[in-house]
């Protein structure tokens, strides 16, 4: 590698201006595409699965073989009105009625009403009241079905309309000021997630750059030097975004990729630039020869950052084999970004150094670092002397107490590894990403109702032959539905009963039979009184079957007493409206036939729809479904478990199996890389083990902070992302230290001398780079989303622990103990030297 880098140095020394021009041209070409990169970012996890997945195929079946229901719970906007007392409850009901009365005032750009289905724009769904009288009233927002309207994109306009109507309502009822109406539901969550991501980027970007500017400026005592690495990596970042825009035309790229990409490239890329610049400054101060200093920086620091960059590329690149495109495209994007950051550090940064020389450290000049110069006095000199004393002492401590340090590290790591391996993870992507008004609405729902009520699961069964037929009543003209396979209907009801036995299942909906409901109500109440029977029937139903049934009974031009007394006569009409309206049946009648070959069972959970408990409930329901299909193999033609939570369940099963393979592959590839570069049998394993130790400590700390203290479950992606990023980025400091030790040994130092000298010379660089990268990742903690906050804390903690503790104390201690065995490898000489101490010279 040294020979190759020496040739790179020759090219840079001769053609620096050409290299800079090439980067500028690449930037100018990429900027128009980079500015549009946000257009390809996805916010829907459903789009991240492979097309062959059962959950996505189930959504296709529901979209093609089931009627479009205006009360599709997974795609409606939901108005949540929070109230404080009984009076507030009445006002909340009145406000919803007020909105419904004037819903036709909400118009599109051409003046057409956007709301209205069945005469309603806001349908009162439920009320939930706590013991103290506070609670929420829920209303479904019913759109008129305009195909050109995106519910998610319309969220902002709808909120403005609701806010304006609320001001009018308060003018009429001043007491309504105590109400808090918020809009939530899947479309609103998607809208707030996209807006929150943009706002987070607007906050994180300047904080990341400012952190780097301050730390690099303090380290080099120059604001010119502090600006150069971010600018160089900024070139690479813009070009990467341009490439992502192109890739996004063919692959699904999740929005957090851009955020992680920014902090990873800025953190790692600026580290690489600092390695080059610091080595150049060190050699320039020693020799005063600009060309020699730059060449040595490119060759020796270049070897470190090339190896480090390769390990990062391997770490994130293996994510590309994941079948879940959220993970695979993140890995591909990060790998591209690190490649470009590495190229910028190896070509653009040295080219700038070649042109500017020591002027890049302006207003500080090289002579000011000489003994008695400005840089050796004042706060900078004091910090420099403190750093020298600290790293000298840390090296001596690592050598003197090597065994104690290693034993202590093992003692801490064992329980940490247990916590990291056994702590429960959450697949609740919605809770992890929710922010803004929709997040407030979901918090209200969690407090007063079932958290999973607006994210149902669907169990869809296809039968080989119709289980019911649809037609038209010859007298009234209403549609009719007649059940033709009684045994299948009862079997579905038994399956629904088994599913509802799960304590985490809030309600189960499915095929409805008016005649059976009436008979069951009469038996349960002991009376044939129509009002009592209807009240019992509606109370037994739940979700959108209940909404459709109540709407139907209030709108039919026939007294309810007649519908009850002549239940068998009116059953075909009621069954048609309820089953079609609630989306419980589908089939060939959608395409002009008359058969019903599909049945849909819908259920929601008490806990958040994607919580660990709800994931188990989905697995249990899937098991019951499979047993039903097996028992009715002669009738059933297919089955699908679908819905947003079911999609995440499928991810948890499929990706969970892949994660182990991805982690093992990343470790093996990095072991091979380190073996080739270091030509040592022990260093690769020691490097991997110390990185894994840092990761176990980090996962334990993250679990304690978020799960124990804050009550926020750890997201399922965190351990994998932490592992691959730390295997790469955390390896930076290990490689920088180890290659410096190797360089010292090659130049004739003993093992102990080489370690001591390397710790002294790289300690400050590793520390400042750790602070920069940790600070860059730490800026994610200012995000409004729990997901990014967790990523920020974990990555910041891991990098800081690795740079400040592991590389400063533990790695030197282990290498002191290993002595000459650090360098045992293929083609090595002098392996027969006695190693009674770590200070004997090793022949390489």
- Condensed to tens digits (0 to 9), the pLDDT of residues 484-516 reads 988 899 999 999 999 999 999 998 989 999 999
Confidence label for 473 from pLDDT (cuts 50, 70 and 90): confident
Query: CB of 741 within 8 A of CB of 826?
Result: no
Q: Count Cα neighbours of 822 within 13 Å in the Cβ-side half-sphere.
A: 28
32-87: per-residue pLDDT in tens? 999 999 888 877 665 556 667 788 888 888 888 888 543 445 567 889 999 999 99
Beta bridge partners of 715: 426
pLDDT for 373: 61
Residue 681 pLDDT > 70, yes or no? yes
618: Cβ contacts below 8 Å, ≥ 6 apart = 457, 641, 645, 646, 649
Task: Check residue 111 and give its pLDDT.
Answer: 80
Q: Which residues pair with 318 in a beta bridge?
A: none
User: Radius of gyration over alpha carbons of the chain, in Å?
Assistant: 33
Give the tokens for residue 160.
């403005």
Three-state SS string over 784-809 comes to CCHHHHHHHHHHHHHHHHHHHHHHHH
Whether pTM exceeds 0.85: no
Supply 324's token pair. Answer: 């879940």
Q: What is the mean pLDDT of the chain?
A: 86
Question: Which two structure tokens, joined as six digits, stand for 528?
Answer: 């044939």
Report residue 832's pLDDT band, with 50, 70 and 90 as the boundaries: very low
Of 261, 610, 604, 644, nearest in space to 432 by CA: 610
Residues paired with residue 841 on neighbouring β-strands, in sequence order: 750
Q: Using the 8-state DSSP alphabet, how is residue 69 labeled?
A: P
Most distant CA pair in the chain: distance in Å? Answer: 107
Map residue 344 onto helix, strand or coil. Answer: helix
Specify the pLDDT at position 393: 93
Q: Given pLDDT bands bounded at 50, 70 and 90, which one contains residue 519?
A: very high
Count of CA atoms in the C-beta half-sphere (13 A) of 94: 17
| Distance from C-alpha of 258 to C-alpha of 265, rounded to nearest angstrom | 10
Tens digits of residue pLDDT in 654-669: 776 788 888 889 899 9
Q: How far apart are CA 312 and CA 726, in angstroms?
A: 8
Q: Is the pLDDT of residue 138 over 80?
A: yes
DSSP secondary structure letter of residue 44? -
């Amino acid at each position: 590698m040294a020979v190759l880098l020496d040739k790179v140095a020759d090219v840079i020394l001769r053609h620096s201006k050409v290299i800079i021009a090439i980067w500028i041209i690449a930037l100018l070409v990429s900027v128009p595409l980079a500015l549009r990169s946000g257009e390809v970012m996805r916010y829907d996890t459903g789009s991240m699965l492979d097309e062959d997945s059962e959950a996505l195929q189930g959504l296709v079946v529901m979209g093609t073989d089931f009627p479009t229901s205006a009360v599709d719970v997974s795609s409606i906007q939901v108005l949540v009105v929070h109230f404080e007392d009984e009076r507030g409850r009445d006002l909340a009901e009145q406000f919803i009625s007020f909105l419904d009365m004037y819903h036709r005032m909400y118009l599109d750009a051409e003046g057409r009403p956007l709301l209205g289905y069945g005469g309603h724009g806001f349908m009162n769904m439920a009320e939930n009241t706590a013991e103290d009288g506070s609670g929420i009233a829920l209303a479904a927002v019913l759109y008129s079905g305009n195909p050109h309207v995106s519910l998610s994109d319309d969220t902002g306009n709808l909120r403005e309309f609701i806010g304006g109507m609320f001001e009018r309502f308060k003018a009429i009822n001043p007491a309504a000021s105590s109400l808090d109406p918020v809009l939530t539901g899947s479309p609103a969550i998607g809208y707030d997630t996209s807006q929150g991501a943009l706002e987070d980027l607007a906050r994180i970007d300047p904080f990341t750059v400012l952190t780097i500017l301050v730390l690099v400026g303090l380290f080099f005592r120059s604001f010119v030097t502090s600006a150069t690495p971010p600018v160089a990596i900024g070139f690479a970042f813009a070009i990467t975004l341009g490439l992502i825009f192109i890739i996004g035309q063919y692959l699904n790229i999740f929005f957090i990729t851009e955020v992680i990409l920014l902090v990873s490239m800025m953190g790692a890329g600026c580290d690489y630039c600092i390695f080059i610049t610091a080595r150049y400054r060190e050699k320039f101060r020693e020799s005063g020869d600009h060309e020699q200093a730059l060449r040595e920086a490119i060759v020796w620091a270049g070897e470190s950052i090339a190896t480090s960059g390769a390990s990062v590329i391997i770490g994130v690149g293996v994510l590309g084999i994941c079948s879940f495109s959220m993970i695979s495209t993140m890995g591909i994007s990060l790998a591209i970004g690190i490649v470009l950051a590495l190229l910028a550090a190896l070509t653009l940064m040295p080219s700038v150094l070649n042109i500017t020389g020591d002027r890049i450290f302006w207003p500080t000049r090289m002579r000011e670092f000489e003994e008695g110069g400005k840089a050796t006095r004042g706060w900078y000199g004091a910090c420099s002397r403190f750093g020298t004393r600290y790293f000298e002492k840390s090296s001596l401590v690592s050598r003197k107490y090597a065994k104690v340090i290693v034993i202590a590290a093992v003692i801490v790591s064992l329980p940490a590894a247990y916590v990291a391996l056994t702590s429960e993870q959450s697949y609740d992507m919605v809770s992890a990403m929710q922010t803004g008004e929709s997040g407030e609405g979901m918090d209200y729902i969690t407090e007063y109702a079932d958290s999973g009520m607006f994210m149902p699961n669907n169990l869809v069964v296809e039968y080989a032959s119709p289980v019911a037929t649809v037609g038209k009543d010859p007298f009234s003209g209403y549609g009719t539905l007649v059940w033709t396979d009684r045994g299948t209907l009862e079997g579905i009801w038994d399956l629904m009963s088994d599913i509802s036995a799960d304590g985490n299942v809030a309600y189960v909906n499915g095929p409805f039979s008016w005649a059976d409901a009436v008979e069951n109500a009469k038996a349960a109440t002991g009376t044939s009184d129509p009002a009592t029977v209807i009240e019992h029937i509606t109370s037994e139903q739940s979700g959108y079957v209940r909404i459709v049934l109540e709407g139907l009974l209030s709108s039919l031009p026939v007294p309810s007493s007649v519908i009850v007394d002549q239940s068998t006569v009116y059953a075909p009409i009621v069954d048609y409206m309820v089953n079609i309206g609630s989306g419980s049946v589908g089939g060939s009648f959608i395409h002009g036939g008359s058969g019903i070959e599909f049945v849909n069972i819908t259920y929601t959970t008490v806990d958040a729809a994607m919580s660990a408990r709800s994931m188990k409930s989905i697995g249990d329901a899937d098991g019951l479904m499979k047993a039903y299909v097996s028992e009715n193999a002669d009738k059933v033609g297919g089955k699908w478990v679908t819905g947003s939570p079911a999609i995440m369940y499928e991810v948890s099963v499929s990706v969970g199996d892949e994660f182990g393979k991805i982690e093992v592959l990343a470790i093996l590839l990095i072991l091979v890389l380190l073996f080739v570069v270091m030509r040592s049998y022990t260093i690769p394993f020691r490097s991997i083990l110390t990185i894994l130790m840092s990761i176990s400590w980090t996962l334990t700390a993250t679990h304690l902070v978020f799960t124990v203290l804050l009550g926020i479950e750890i997201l399922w992606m965190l351990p994998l992302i932490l592992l691959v990023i730390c295997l790469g980025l955390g390896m930076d400091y290990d490689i920088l230290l180890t290659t410096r030790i190797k360089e010292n040994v090659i130049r004739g130092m003993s093992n102990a001398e080489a370690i001591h000298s390397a710790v002294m010379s790289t300690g400050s660089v590793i520390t400042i780079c750790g602070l920069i990268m940790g600070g860059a990742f730490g800026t994610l903690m200012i995000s409004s989303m729990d997901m990014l906050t967790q990523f920020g804390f974990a990555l910041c903690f891991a990098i800081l622990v690795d740079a400040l503790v592991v590389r400063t104390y533990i790695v030197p201690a282990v290498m002191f103990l290993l002595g000459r065995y650090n360098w045992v490898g293929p083609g090595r000489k002098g392996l027969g030297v006695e190693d009674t101490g770590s200070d004997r010279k090793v022949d390489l």
